[in-house]
Amino acid sequence: MPNNRPAQFVAVLDFGAQYGQLIARRVRDLHVYSEIFPCDVSAAELAAAGPSAIILSGGPASVYAEDAPDMDAAIFNMGLPIFGFCYGQQIMAVKLGGAVGHTDKGEYGPAHITRAGASRIFGETPAEQTVWMSHRDAVSEVPAGFAVTSTTETCPVASMEDASRNLYATQFHPEVRHTEYGRDLLSHFLFDICGLEPTWTMDNIVEDKVAQIREQVGDKKVILALSGGVDSSVVAALVHRAIGDQLTCVFVNHGMLRKGEPEMVEEVFREQFHVPLIHVHAEDRYAQLLAGVTEPEEKRRRIGTQFWKEFFAVAQDLDGIEYLAQGTIYPDIIESGARKTGGKASTIKSHHNLIPFPEGVHFDLIEPLDHFFKDEVRELGIALGLPDKLVWRQPFPGPGLAIRIIGEVTPEKLAILKEADAVVREELDAYNACLFEETGERNSEHSCWQYFAVLPDIRSVGVMGDERTYRRPVIVRAVESSDAMTADWAKLPYEVIGKISSRIVDEVDGVNRVVYDVTPKPPATIEWE
Ligand code: XMP
């Protein structure tokens, strides 16, 4: 996207890891494209990118600290509207001749502001408002030309603006949902002050992306590794929409996918979308490769290495492939830290380095999702006509069920785990669907983010009729989370756990016990290996 940005976009200068992400998402929620830049981007670099407006994010540092994140003061002379939040307000004040000091006590959490006079940012919103604060330092002296537009009991400059230069700032966080009128403030900035149009909608995005892909690819051929996951599926649907049969998808079936998954990929892509699809049946080769392997990292390594071998074996057999499409998404780029070391070009290079091209083989990359957040990728999938069951799939690790079978992966264990996992998914898909119906939200407070069965490498004693059994226990793992960085075990109703348990012991041969994992992350991880 960076070289193909929409004509109007907002640059968010990020003063602290991850602060910019939420802001960019809020701007995009209002249908204006937004992209995150490192805070030390120069005015010249920014001018070359050509944003329509700038937002300065919050950040955890103190502006006067020795290695506090800094910015190029020339950005204030670019003539663009600028909106600063929290640290963004403080650095605006300091750069333009105001001052920041320590307040007697910090403000964390909800606070009440009282407006002071007219303000273009506040518009017609009420005189008293609840906002979200998170700061110790605060502006003590506004720069010349600025007016204070709101205060709290402890913060004399809760917001300030110089409307003549189109500079606005708040000590609080308008991007946080707890700020009652945050969305209105942002919307006043984007539409009333900057005069932007809310044209960044999924339908327009699909159209733009399709045009870009067509232009980039021309009449060349593209290959894509389709895993059945959300990202690669959306790329497949998008690239196919753009160039039709010039795209070939390769689906490497390593045999450790969940029950019904290979069939779903076939049904959606081959039968519904008519995408040229090569289904590589590598199940036996993987089974041999994993025989006797018990170390989780060794399993991952072997599965990953074999994947590319299988993929390139097919790719090299096809004539005239010039491009490899990948489902890289924006958080992959942001989190790789690549943007800090020179932006886009170095990012692509680092991805390239990850792909083990065989000697003498090289494809250029197409990464059409590299500036989309996960929920936007899902929206795009829906706009492209992918079915809900695929778009709303829970995350599933690349090495598949191999890391949910503790110890050696054997055909017997795989068969048990596939069946038990299918029961867990069926019951918890239904549970999530009920919550969705009640709340209208996909990932509402109690819904499960990831849910699956794990097969430990032990046996347990049971009794069936008059006989003692010596069979396998199955562990059920279900977690609530929003990003997999932290997670809590799902507080499922007893009836739901009970039903999963009785169905597994009744329906899955070789299992005589079911246990539920009640550990959050941290200290545990979501997966067992
Ligand atoms: P953990 O277990 O570290 O998992 O809490 C966090 C998220 O990452 C997924 N995961 C993996 N995904 N390859 C993947 O593609 C892997 O080896 C892998 N290990 C964990 C996990 O399912 C969860 O969503």
Residue 43 in tokens: 């005015």
Q: Phi and psi at residue 232, in whole multiples of 5°? A: -70, -30
At residue 272's C-alpha, the angle toward residues 271 and 273, to 5°, is 105
Residue 379, ligand 1, Cβ within 6 A: no
Handedness of CA 26, 28, 32, 34 (dihedral sign): positive
Task: Tell me the longest C-alpha to C-alpha distance in the chain.
Answer: 89
Among residues 394, 382, 375, the alpha carbon closest in space to that of 478 is found at: 394
Cβ of 229 closer than 6 Å to ligand 1, yes or no, is no
d(CA 147, CA 125): 18
In short, whether 398's Cβ falls inside 6 Å of ligand 1 is yes
Round to whole Å and give the CA distance between 244 and 275: 7
Q: Which atom of ligand 1 is nearest to the CA of 395?
A: 24
Is residue 136 within 8 Å of 100, Cβ to Cβ? Answer: no
Ligand 1 atom 22, closest CA: 397
Q: How far is the CA of 304 from the centre of ligand 1 (A)?
A: 14
Which pairs with CB-CB distance under 8 Å and at least 24 residues apart come from 480-484?
A: 480/445, 480/446, 480/447, 480/448, 480/449, 481/449, 481/450, 481/521, 481/526, 482/443, 482/449, 484/395, 484/449, 484/450, 484/526
Atom of ligand 1 nearest to the CA of 450: 24
Between the CA of 315 and the centroid of ligand 1 the distance, in Å, is: 27
259 lines ligand 1 (CB under 6 A): no
527 lines ligand 1 (CB under 6 A): yes
Six token digits for residue 394:
């829970």
Query: What distance in angstroms lies between residue 77's CA and the mean position of ligand 1's atoms?
Result: 45
Which residues are CB-contacts of 66 (< 8 A; sequence separation ≥ 6)?
Answer: none
Cα of 444 to ligand 1 centre, how many Å?
Answer: 22
Ligand 1 pocket check for 484: Cβ under 6 Å: yes
Alpha helix ranges (H) inside 60-201: 87-95, 182-187
Active site residues: 86, 173, 175
Q: What is residue 346's predicted lDDT score, i.e. its pLDDT?
A: 36
The span from the CA of 21 to the CA of 43, in Å, is 21
Q: What is the pLDDT along the chain (529 residues), one digit of tens a residue?
A: 556 789 999 999 999 867 889 999 999 999 999 999 999 999 999 999 999 999 999 998 999 999 999 999 999 999 999 999 999 999 999 999 999 998 667 889 999 999 999 999 999 999 999 999 998 899 999 999 999 999 999 999 999 999 999 999 999 999 999 999 999 999 999 999 999 999 999 999 999 999 999 999 999 999 999 998 999 999 999 999 999 999 999 999 999 999 999 999 999 999 999 999 999 999 999 999 999 999 999 999 999 999 999 999 999 999 999 999 999 999 888 776 544 433 333 333 345 457 899 999 999 999 999 999 999 999 999 999 999 999 999 999 999 999 999 999 999 999 999 999 999 999 999 999 999 999 998 888 889 999 999 999 999 999 988 899 999 999 999 999 988 889 999 999 999 999 999 999 999 999 999 999 999 999 999 999 9
Amino acid at 379: E
Is residue 329 a contact partner of residue 228, using CB atoms and an 8 Å limit?
Answer: no
Contact by Cβ (8 Å): 39, 69: yes
Instruction: Name the token pair of 400.
Output: 């598949």
Task: Name, in order, each residue with C-beta under 8 angstroms of 277's C-beta and a sequence gap of 6 or more.
Answer: 226, 248, 249, 250, 251, 265, 266, 269, 270
Q: Measured from the CB, is residue 374 less than 6 Å from ligand 1?
A: no
DSSP-assigned letter for residue 189 = I
Find how far residue 259's CA is from the centre of its chain. 26
Token pair listed for 507: 């329906």
Sign of CA dihedral 86, 89, 95, 98: negative
Q: What would the DSSP string read from start to end of 331-354?
A: HHHHHTTGGGGTSHHHHHHHHHHH
Nearest-CA residue for ligand 1 atom 19 is 397
The residue whose CA has the least distance to atom 6 of ligand 1 is 484
Is any atom of ligand 1 closer than 6 Å to the C-beta of 521?
Answer: yes
From the CB of 332, is ligand 1 less than 6 Å away? Answer: no
Tokens of 405: 């079978």
pLDDT at site 513: 98
Model pLDDT, residue 3: 61
Beta strands in 425-494 (DSSP E): 450-454, 460-464, 467-480, 488-489
Cα–ligand 1 centroid distance for 467 (angstroms): 39
pLDDT the model gives residue 104: 67
**Ligand 1 mutation target, pool 256, 527, 528, 529, most atoms within 8 A of CB:** 527
CB 16 within 8 A of CB 204: no
Q: Is 525's C-beta closer than 6 angstroms to any atom of ligand 1?
A: yes
Query: What is the per-residue DSSP string for 251-271?
Result: EEE-S-SPTTHHHHHIIIIII
Query: CA-CA distance, 255 to 19, in Å (whole number)?
Result: 40
DSSP-assigned beta bridge partners for residue 123 = none
- The finding on whether 435 has its CB within 6 A of some atom of ligand 1 is no
Q: What residue type is assigned to position 472 of the chain?
A: R
Residue spans of beta strands (DSSP E) within 195-316:
221-225, 247-253, 277-281
Q: Is 296 in the pocket of ligand 1 (CB under 6 A)?
A: no
- The residue whose CB lies within 8 Å of the most ligand 1 atoms, and thus the one to mutate among 295, 526, 528, is 526
Beta-carbon contacts of 190 under 8 Å, excluding residues fewer than 6 positions away, are 10, 27, 30, 32, 53, 196, 198
Cα 381 to ligand 1 centroid, rounded to whole Å: 22
Instruction: Round to whole Å and give the CA distance between 33 and 1.
Output: 10
Q: Give the nearest ligand 1 atom to 398 CA.
A: 15
d(CA 519, CA 309): 37
Nearest C-alpha to atom 12 of ligand 1 is from which residue? 397
Atom of ligand 1 nearest to the CA of 527: 2
The helix (H) or strand (E) run that includes residue 391 is: helix 388-391
b/e per residue 449-468 (b: at least 16 CB within 10 A): bbbbbbbbeeeeebeeeeee
Pairing of strands 247-253, 277-281: parallel
How many angstroms does the Cα of residue 300 sit away from the middle of ligand 1? 11
